[in-house]
A and B are shown apart, each in its own frame.
Chain A
Amino acid sequence: MMFQRRPSSDPLWTDEFSVETAKERYVTRRQFSKFLVLTSFGMLAGNLWILIRSLRYRPSVYPAIPVARLGEIPVGGVKQFRYPAAEDTCLMVRTGPDRYVAYSQKCTHLSCAVIYSQANNRLECPCHDGYFSVDDGRVLQGPPPRPLPKVMLEQRGDELVAVGLDRNAEL
């Protein structure tokens, strides 16, 4: 009599395989709040990482590289060049007889290559229809969160020389 099974609605096999899955999956409010606090700690760690990156930041020193000759491209024309490194492609646009502007070609959204649209006089990203002003690189439309980095140009003799990159270029 001692070994008789107690009346229960559970199937017989649960006695032999005593895995209490339902109880194991049950999460108490205390456990849940502990998980939330750990998530909060993770985000604090992320903010601290950003702070450390900011404190260790040193302004970059850019080389001076000749990128074009005066009059080499027509008004409304475009020239592609690489600055400051060989893998960083940039676009120079001649917007007027004496006016040249240059920007990084990487869209600030997902790094697709932007192209110059002469018809609309703007820089366009074909991936997600992000548009940038050709005058100052600011975002006109679309998902890009930041303006295009602007390449600083200097005229030296009859040459245009890239001397720096302004990543904060915005109005």
Chain B
Amino acid sequence: MERQQPRLQRQGLTAIDGAISLIVILLMVQMWLLTAALEALLAGHHETALPAALISGVIFSACWVLFLFVDKIDADVRQR
């Protein structure tokens, strides 16, 4: 049982690291989206703002879900 504890912690840490990596990738996409939307606005292409905002919202939701996942795994590992 005692030997299982570090293994569980390691698995938890790996899952958290994976989730953080995914969040970072999503952030890079969102950053690109923001710059592209701003560039389009300055160029007078106002029709791109709505899809950009929607996709940005979806990306934020995905980040939020991943954060909840990290939070849950962290709490689980600490409780055991």
Contacts and interface: CB of A to CB of B under 8 A. Distances in A.
B45 A33 contact: no
Contacts of A73: none
Given A39-B27, A54-B46, A167-B43, A48 B67 contact: no
29 contacts: A29-B17, A29-B70, A33-B16, A33-B70, A33-B71, A36-B63, A40-B60, A43-B31, A43-B33, A43-B60, A44-B30, A44-B53, A44-B56, A44-B57, A47-B34, A47-B56, A50-B34, A50-B37, A50-B49, A50-B53, A51-B52, A51-B53, A53-B41, A54-B46, A54-B49, A55-B49, A145-B39, A167-B44, A168-B45
Q: Chain B at the A interface: mostly helix, strand, loop or mixed?
A: helix
A34 B66 CA distance: 10
Given A40-B26, A146-B43, A47 B67 contact: no
Given A37-B64, A50-B52, A43 B30 contact: yes
B45 to A, nearest CB: 7
Size band of the interface chain A makes with B: 20 to 34
Given A167-B44, A168-B43, A48 B20 contact: no
A156 interface: no
B27 A51 contact: no
Interface residues of B, number: 38
B31 A33 contact: no
Interface of B: 13, 16-17, 19-20, 23-24, 26-27, 30-31, 33-34, 37-39, 41-47, 49-50, 52-53, 56-57, 59-60, 63-64, 66-67, 70-71, 74
Interface of A: 28-30, 32-34, 36-37, 39-41, 43-44, 46-48, 50-51, 53-55, 57, 145-146, 167-168
